[in-house]
Amino acid sequence: MGTTKKAKSALISVFHKDGLAPIIQKLNDLNITIYSTGGTEKFIKDLGVNAIAVEDLTLYPSILGGRVKTLHPKVFGGILSRRENENDILQLAQYEIPEIDIVIVDLYPFEKTVASAASEEDIIEKIDIGGISLIRAAAKNFNDVFCVSSLNQYDEFLEILSASNGETSIEQRKNFAAKAFAVSSHYDSAIFNYLNEYLNEGELAFRQSFDKASVLRYGENPHQKGYFFGNLEELFDILHGKELSYNNLLDVDAAINLMNEFKNDAPTFAILKHNNACGIAQRATLKQAYLDALAADPTSAFGGVLISNKVIDMDTAQEIHQLFCEVVIAPGYDKEALELLKGKKNRIILVQKDIELPNTQYRTALNGILFQDKNNKTDNIDVVDFVTIEKPTDREIEDLLFASKICKHTKSNTIVFAKNKQLFASGTGQTSRVDALEQAIVKAKHFNFDLNGAVMASDAFFPFPDCVEIADKAGITSVIQPGGSIKDQLSINYCDEHKMSMIFTGTRHFKH
C-alpha cells in the first residue's frame, strides 16, 4: 500500500459553495481533472474552470428530480478501486472507469431543515443519498483517496493541497477518513432521531451525536481525562476568564436548570456548589437578592458558581467582586459592572442566551445508558391538596413554592428551609430524610437563622411522622411534600395536633 499519493482527479458535489472557489482554483493550477454535478458543475464553470459532468462519464442523466446522479459503477468504481490491486486496475481499464483520487462532498442540510419546521416532504428530500454514499466510499478507500466531507474542512484541505502540490500522506487521508465517518454517523443519527418516534416501544434504540468536542484540563479529578461534546457557544457568550472545567460545567448545568425556575420572576440570585444551591433569594433589587443568597452559607459560597435572572448592575457587581467565585452567569452586564468583574483574571463570566434546553436526559450506567424525560414539572398551588386543618397563609404558600423549586434541584435525600423567599438552609444528598432534616437545622442555626415561621420542602414523602415532629420543634410552621406514604395520615395527624399546615403535591422530585 502506498503512503504518499499525488492526485490526478477529483469529484466535487456539494450543497454549500462557500469557501469552495479557492479549492477549485488550486485544483486547476495543479492540473487535476474535475468531475462534478448539477449546481456544483455550473459554479465551477462560472469560475472559468473546466469540469466534466458526471452524466458524461456515466452516460446516464440525473434522474428522479436529482435523486439519482452519482450512484453508478463508473463513479464508485473509480473511488473504490485499489490502486495496487492488479485485478482492480484491469477492471477499470475494461470498463473505461477513471480513477478518482479526491472526493469533495457537502451534504444536504438535514438538521437545519428539521429545525426550520419545514414540511415532512421537504425534510425527507434533505436526506442525502448520493453524497453520503460518496463519503463512505472515499473514506473506506483512504489508502488511495482523499475525502473532504464538510465545508468545515475546506480551509484545512486547501492548506494541504497548497503545501504539497497535490500530494497527500496516508496520515492525512486517514485523518480525513475518520472525520468523514464522524460526519456520516452524525448525519444518520439525526435522521434516525427524526424518525425514532415511529418505532414501537420494544424497537427503541439510542443514538446521540455531537460534532464539537472541547478538551478539558481534566475530568472530575486531575488523574481523569475529560471532554465536553457540544457547542457551548450556542448557550453562552464567554466574556472572560479561564476555560471551564469538568466540575465547572456540572455546576453551570445545575445553575442554569435551577434559575430557569425563576426566569421571569423578580430579581433572583443563586449560588451553587457541587451542583446544589447553597444560597438563593428573591428580592426587589438584585444586590439585595445576592446579599441574602450569600447569607445562607457564605462558607460554601467560596469558589462557587453564581447566577442571576437579571442583568448584573454595578451595585451588585461591587458585592460579587469581594467574593472568590469560579463562574458568574447572567443574561447581561452593565458596562461598568463587567469591567469590575473582569478584575479577577481567572473568573469566568458568561452571558446566558435565551435558547431552549433539551427535554431529555441520559447518563452511563453499568454497561449501558439510562434515558429519561427531563423533570419539567414544577409544583403549582392550583394542583396541590391541602391535607391539614390548618391552611398555609399567602406568605407561606409563596415560600412553600419557592422552597419546592429549590428542593427539585437539590440532591436527594433533601430537605429545604425557606422564609420570605430566601433559602435558610438545606440538607443535601443524605441517606435518610431525618439526616437531611437534621443537617438543615444545624446549618440554619450555624448561620443564625431563626426558623420560627419558616417553611419546609421535601423531595419525597415522609414514611413516618418523625420529620414533621422534628421540624415543628425547630419552628417550622408549614410543609410541602409529595405525599404517597401508606402512613401519610400519621404525619397529617401530628400537624393537626400541633397547628402546622401541610400540602401534598403528588409529585416526587428525586435527583441523583
CB atoms within 10 A of CB 417: 29
B/e letters for 187-220, b = 16+ CB within 10 Å, e = fewer, are bebebebbeeeeeeeeeeeeeeeeeeeeebeeee
Which one from 274, 342, 344, 377 is the annotated catalytic residue?
274
Is 140 a known active-site residue?
yes
Phi, psi of 480, rounded to the nearest 5 degrees: -125, 130
H helix or E strand, kind and range, residue 277 = strand 276-282
Collect contacts of 378-383 with beta carbons under 8 A, ≥24 apart. 378/261, 378/404, 378/405, 378/408, 379/404, 379/405, 379/408, 379/480, 379/505, 379/507, 383/505, 383/506
- Is 274 a residue of the active site? yes
Cis peptide, bond prior to residue 413, ω within 30 of zero: yes
End-to-end CA distance of the chain: 53
| Whether the Cβ atoms of residue 414 and residue 426 lie closer than 8 Å to each other | yes
Q: How far is CA 42 from CA 14, 52, 461, in A?
A: 12, 11, 69
286 within 8 A of 267, measured Cβ to Cβ: yes
Element (H, E) at 258: helix 246-259
Could you give the CA distance from residue 25 to residue 14 in angstroms, rounded to a whole number? 16
Widest pairwise Cα distance in the chain: 97
- Return d(Cα 127, Cα 113) in angstroms, integer: 10
Residue 326 corresponds to which amino acid?
E
Q: What is the 3-state secondary structure (H, E, C) of 5-29?
A: EECCEEEEEECCCCCCHHHHHHHHH
- Positions of E strands within 353-473: 360-365, 368-373, 385-386, 415-418, 423-427, 455-458
Give the closest residue to 9 by CA, choosing from 138, 179, 131: 138
* 441-478 per-residue burial string, b: 16 or more CB within 10 A, e: under 16: bebbeeeebebeebbbbbbbbbbebebbbbbbebbbbb
- Which grid coordinates belong to 344? 479577577
Tell me 151's DSSP state.
Answer: G
Which cell goes with 280? 438563593
Catalytic residue (choose from 8, 17, 126, 140): 140
CB 70 within 8 A of CB 37: yes
* C-alpha cell of residue 484: 404517597
Tell me the catalytic residues. Answer: 140, 274
